[in-house]
Structure 1
Amino acid sequence: MHEMALCEGIIGIVEDEARKRSFSKVKVVCLEIGVLSHVAPEAIQFCFEAVAARTIARDAKLEIIETPGTAWCMACSTNVEIRQRYEPCPSCGSHQLQVTGGEEMRVKELEVD
């Protein structure tokens, strides 16, 4: 389960920010996860609680925002939204799509004390 390692990275980011900005408690961690990232939001939620248990984020609420997948269609020169890789262009039906977004996962914001 790679989500556990991802959550350890998230906590690392939170702890680095706590050192830089001198806060002592994290109330909310807002995380963006792209639909093409191969990250299961439910697994992240579960793993986050386990990893955060003995950290500055132990009581923090994890808010997950799912971001859409986007691609450039080479056939019709259109930016399109996609839900998964290798699906056809919703505009023209071509499979000549280059993914341009939705693969990322990032900490968008923190609510702290």
Structure 2
Amino acid sequence: MHEYSIVQSLLESCEEHARANDAKKVTKVVVKIGVLSGVEPDLLQTAFDTFKEQTVCHNAQFLINVQKIEILCLDCDTKSTLEKHEFSCPKCQSVNIKVTDGEDMFLMSLEME
């Protein structure tokens, strides 16, 4: 369950941002998780709720935005969002594509007081 180590790193980052901005607490944490990132949103939520005690995120709201797979077709230059895990261009059916979003996890924003 690598979600626990991800949350520990996320909480450390929140602590650093709070210190850098002279904030006493973090009230909201927003992350974006790509469906191909290998991170399970429910497990991440559980890990965050478990480890946020005794941190600046103690009472923080944790919002997870799940990012679908976005591709660029290298043949017809069309950008698309895939609804299924069928890695081909919906316009021309080419498999000569590049994934442009949906593979990573990012800390998108923090609200602090």
Supply the distance in 2 between the matched residues of 1:62 and 1:84 (Cα, whole angstroms).
Answer: 27
Match of 2:40 in 1: 40
1:4 counterpart residue number: 4
Match in the other structure for 2:102: 102
1:62-101 matches, cutoff 5 A: 62-83=62-83, 87-101=87-101
Does residue 22 in structure 1 map to residue 22 in structure 2? yes
Q: Give me the TM-score of the superposition, normalised by structure 2.
A: 0.88
Number of residue pairs matched by the alignment: 113
Is the contact between residue 69 and residue 82 of structure 1 (CA under 8 Å) also seen in structure 2?
Answer: yes
Distance 1:5 1:70 in 2: 27
Find the aligned partners of 1:99 and 1:23 in 2 and give their Cα distance: 37
1:63-100 CA-to-partner distances (Å, cap 9, x unmatched) read: 11122321111232211112465522211222221111
Taking only the aligned residue pairs, the percentage that are identical comes to 31
- If the length of structure 1 is used for normalisation, what is the TM-score? 0.88
1:14 is paired with a residue whose SS is: helix
Partners of 2:10 and 2:31 in 1: how far apart? 9
Please report how far the alpha carbon of residue 27 of structure 1 lies from its aligned counterpart in structure 2 after TM superposition: 1.2
The CA distance in 1 between the partners of 2:65 and 2:38, in whole Å, is 15
Comparing 55-64 and 31-40, the one that deviates more = 31-40
CA RMSD for the aligned pairs? 1.6
Structure 1: gaps spanning 5 or more residues: none
Residues 35 and 96 (structure 1), Cα distance of their counterparts in 2 relative to 1, 3 Å cut:
same
Unaligned 5+ residue runs, structure 2? none
User: Partner letter of residue 50 of structure 2?
Assistant: A
Report the equivalent of 1:50. Answer: 50
The 1:83–1:17 alpha-carbon spacing in structure 2 relative to 1, beyond 3 Å, is same
